């Protein structure tokens, strides 16, 4: 039965309808002239009066030539369907409608949409489906189940199809080859829709109680068996003067849309079936992005790098805003991985392992400043790994070895530049930094700036910071006021200078498409970072760590830990074990009994 349609008085004729009427009239005149002049004896335009009329030429949807670099859809499935359609399709001769509350109907709609290369829109919810249909300018709509056909303009033919239609019915109504009937168990709908492939489309339907999946148990999509023809005859024309005329039994002849720019769909939570179907109908792949961040895992980075998408459509507001997502995708597309995998310093996606770090502190060639400098480069990296290894038995997170290199060293004398800081040349540090990267060891450059500022010193090490595995640490203990000298006063820094350094490092990272960088702030007194409550931790390119550097007896260290954590901004936390100054120094088991468990443990 034809879905209910409004009477002519219910909706004014659209501009598109007027254009189509004019085009139809012109086509009629041209056809009449051709019939009178084509040279056939009877002027009919046919060489054999017994032959049928020529088959219609299939039409195809047009994909957007320049889709937005990133589209983040609403959490509402009906709104997401409209937004996905708008991002991918410039026009479509056919649209597919399903009801927002009808999951079986959406499975049928998904099958049909991928078969004909059309978007799926959901009625019965808050989305402006009528406006999207008007934009797409279809000739016909496949109305599945109880979908509301009143959203269609008067000049769009409605073709009904029951929810759960079988392969024969779908092949007949779409005129496109489809595969075998494939029952889908509850909970497996999204995976089934994601597996649909243009030209090889399984016919999805909700699994009945007690029914086995089509493959005998795994639930995988069955191998499609083509049926039907590649095109279908044109629908029966509707007499504009007779609104009660029957809707056509078939869709207009369609062809698959020509490939457009590479588009990738991203999901990280609920997966709306209509939006997934539209992605697959447009030829877009679909990728899981744990934590709504394509940089989060080694697998997601590899897959984005392989796809190299010109645009992404992310399903769900968790991915937003769109400009941030576009930058994340561009970074993931480089394929560069951090030690421990992925491009996040501390991935936090549910169900995915996080990361923790165990570091040696010091400067190459100097045993006086920490354990890092007590041996040559290969032995330093081996020692870093030896320190990290015991922690791997204590956590399910990935434990990454790390070295924190003092790049600028607090000096007792003013030096030629008067800043009371000895800046080590980049080339002195490069061998350890490069070897660490090759060994899968993270690196942080530590700044002890004396009377200069952190931004100025950080910029001296741009060549090293341009490496993906290199982060930055600020050591306010050694940041002097103009009248101060080291070891007579404990230095400090205002939060504005810290924020300026973070902003510079974030922009540096963003402009180069680098993975996220660790940004460490050393602290053992509250006064060392003035107005710390204003610390800017919003930079997507940085993972900020407050590293608690207290030393001595364990009760005192615990007190410093608690004091610095009270009222702190949202950051990660680091703990330092001192070989000589702690009484006693905690072993790995004891260190991980500190609460919260430190994300970074450093040995000095």
Quick: pLDDT tens for 246-274. 545 799 999 989 999 999 999 998 999 99
**Residue 361 forms beta bridges with which residues?**
404
Residue 125: the pLDDT is: 92
Using CA atoms, how far apart are residues 394 and 373, in angstroms rounded to an integer? Answer: 28
Exposure string over 238-270, b if 16+ CB within 10 A, otherwise e: beeeeeeeebbebbbbbbbbeebeebbbbbbee
Looking from the CA of 53 toward its CB, the CA atoms found within 13 Å total 4
Residue 200: the pLDDT is: 77
Using CA atoms, how far apart are residues 141 and 122, in angstroms rounded to an integer? Answer: 12
Q: Long-range contacts for 28-37 (Cβ within 8 Å, ≥24 apart)?
A: none
C-alpha distance across the termini of the chain, in Å: 80
pLDDT tens-digit map of 90-130: 999 999 999 999 999 999 999 999 999 999 999 999 899 99
Neighbours of 562 (CB within 10 A): 11
Residue 418: the pLDDT is: 83
User: Which is nearest to 206 in space by CA: 82, 110, 75?
Assistant: 110
Residue that the structure tokens 């364990």 belong to: 554
Q: How much is the pTM?
A: 0.84
Kindly list the domain boundaries of the chain, sorted by start residue: 8-37+60-210+219-233+245-259, 355-603
Burial of 4 (0-12, 13-18, 19+ CB in 10 A): exposed
Residue 214: the pLDDT is: 52
Residue 132: the pLDDT is: 98
Asked whether residue 224 carries a pLDDT value surpassing 90, the answer given is no
Asked whether residue 32 carries a pLDDT value surpassing 80, the answer given is no
**Residue 405 forms beta bridges with which residues?**
362, 445
For residue 481, name the pLDDT band (cuts at 50, 70, 90): confident
Residue 266: the pLDDT is: 98
> What CATH code would you report for 355-603?
3.20.20
Residue 249: the pLDDT is: 76
Residue 166: the pLDDT is: 94
Using CA atoms, how far apart are residues 382 and 371, in angstroms rounded to an integer? Answer: 12
Residue that the structure tokens 């939060």 belong to: 495
Residue 409: the pLDDT is: 95
Are 575 and 548 contacting, i.e. CB atoms less than 8 angstroms apart? yes
Residue that the structure tokens 């993931």 belong to: 332
Q: For the residues of 570-590, what is the DSSP string, one character each?
A: S-EEEEEE-TTTSBSPP-HHH
Asked whether residue 484 carries a pLDDT value surpassing 60, the answer given is yes
Exposure string over 576-599, b if 16+ CB within 10 A, otherwise e: bbbeeebeebbebeebbebeeebb
Of residues 22 and 298, the one with the higher pLDDT is: 298
Residue 415: the pLDDT is: 87
Strands (E), 491-556: 493-494, 517-523, 529-530, 542-548
Neighbours of 287 (CB within 10 A): 22
Of residues 349 and 41, the one with the higher pLDDT is: 349
- Cα distances (Å, whole numbers) of residue 135 to 82, 113, 535: 11, 18, 47
pLDDT tens-digit map of 390-425: 999 999 999 999 999 999 999 888 888 888 999 999
Residue 15: the pLDDT is: 53
pLDDT tens-digit map of 422-480: 999 999 999 999 999 999 999 999 999 999 999 999 999 999 999 999 999 999 999 98
Of residues 266 and 209, the one with the higher pLDDT is: 266
For residue 516, name the pLDDT band (cuts at 50, 70, 90): very high
- Across the chain, mean pLDDT equals 87
Q: Enumerate residues 6+ apart whose C-beta is below 8 A from 348.
A: 291, 354
Strands (E), 145-259: 157-161, 181-184, 203-206, 254-255
Asked whether residue 243 carries a pLDDT value surpassing 70, the answer given is no
**283 phi/psi in degrees, rounded to 5:** 85, 15
Residue 340: the pLDDT is: 97
């Amino acid at each position: 039965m034809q879905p209910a349609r409004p009477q002519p008085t219910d909706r004014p004729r659209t501009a598109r309808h007027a254009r189509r009427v004019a085009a139809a009239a012109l086509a009629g005149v041209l056809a009449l002239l051709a019939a009178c002049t084509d040279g056939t004896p009877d002027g009919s335009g046919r060489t054999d009066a017994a032959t049928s009329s020529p088959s219609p030429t299939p039409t195809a949807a047009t994909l957007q030539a320049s889709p937005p670099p990133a589209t983040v859809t609403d959490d509402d499935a009906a709104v997401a369907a409209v937004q996905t359609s708008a991002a991918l399709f410039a026009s479509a001769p056919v649209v597919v409608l399903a009801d927002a509350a009808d999951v079986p109907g959406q499975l049928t709609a998904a099958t049909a949409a991928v078969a004909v290369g059309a978007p799926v829109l959901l009625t019965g919810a808050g989305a402006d489906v009528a406006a999207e249909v008007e934009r797409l300018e279809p000739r016909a709509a496949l109305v599945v189940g109880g979908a509301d056909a009143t959203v269609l303009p008067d000049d769009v033919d409605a073709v009904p199809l029951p929810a759960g239609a079988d392969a024969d019915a779908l092949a007949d109504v779409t005129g496109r080859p489809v595969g075998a009937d494939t029952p889908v168990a509850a909970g497996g709908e999204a995976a089934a829709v994601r597996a649909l492939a243009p030209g090889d489309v399984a016919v999805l339907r909700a699994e009945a109680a007690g029914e086995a999946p089509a493959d005998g148990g795994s639930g995988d999509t069955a191998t499609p068996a083509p049926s039907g023809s590649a095109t279908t005859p044109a629908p029966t024309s509707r007499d504009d003067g007779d609104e009660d005329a029957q809707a056509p039994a078939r869709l207009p002849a369609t062809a698959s849309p020509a490939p457009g720019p590479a588009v990738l769909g991203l999901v990280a939570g609920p997966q709306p079936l209509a939006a997934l179907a539209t992605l697959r109908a447009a030829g877009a792949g679909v990728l899981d992005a744990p934590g709504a961040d394509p940089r989060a895992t080694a697998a997601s980075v590899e897959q984005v790098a392989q796809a190299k998408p010109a645009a992404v459509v992310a399903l769900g507001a968790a991915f937003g805003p769109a400009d941030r997502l576009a930058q994340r995708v561009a970074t993931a597309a480089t394929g560069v991985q951090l030690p421990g995998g992925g491009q996040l310093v501390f991935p936090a996606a549910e169900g995915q392992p996080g990361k923790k770090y165990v570091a040696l502190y010091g400067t190459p060639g100097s045993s006086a400043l920490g354990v890092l400098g007590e041996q040559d480069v290969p032995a330093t990296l081996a020692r870093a790994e030896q320190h990290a290894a015991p922690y791997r038995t204590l956590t399910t997170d990935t434990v990454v070895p790390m070295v924190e290199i003092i790049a600028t060293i607090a000096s007792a004398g003013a030096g030629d530049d008067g800043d009371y800081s000895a800046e080590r040349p980049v080339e002195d540090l490069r061998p350890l930094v490069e070897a660490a990267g090759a060994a899968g060891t993270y690196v942080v450059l530590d700044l002890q700036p004396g009377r200069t500022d952190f931004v100025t010193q950080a910029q001296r090490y741009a060549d090293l910071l341009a490496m993906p595995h290199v982060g930055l640490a600020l050591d306010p203990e050694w940041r002097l006021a103009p009248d101060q000298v080291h070891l007579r006063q404990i230095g400090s820094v205002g939060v504005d200078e810290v924020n300026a350094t973070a902003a510079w490092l974030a922009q540096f990272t963003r402009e180069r498409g680098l993975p996220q960088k660790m940004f460490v702030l050393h602290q053992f007194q509250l006064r060392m970072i003035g107005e710390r409550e204003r610390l800017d931790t919003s930079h997507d390119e940085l993972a900020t760590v407050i590293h608690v550097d207290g030393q001595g007896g364990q009760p005192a260290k615990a007190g410093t830990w608690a004091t610095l954590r009270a009222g702190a901004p949202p950051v990660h936390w680091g703990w330092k074990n001192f070989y000589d100054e702690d009484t006693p120094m905690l072993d790995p088991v004891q260190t991980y009994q500190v609460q919260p468990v430190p994300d970074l443990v450093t040995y000095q």
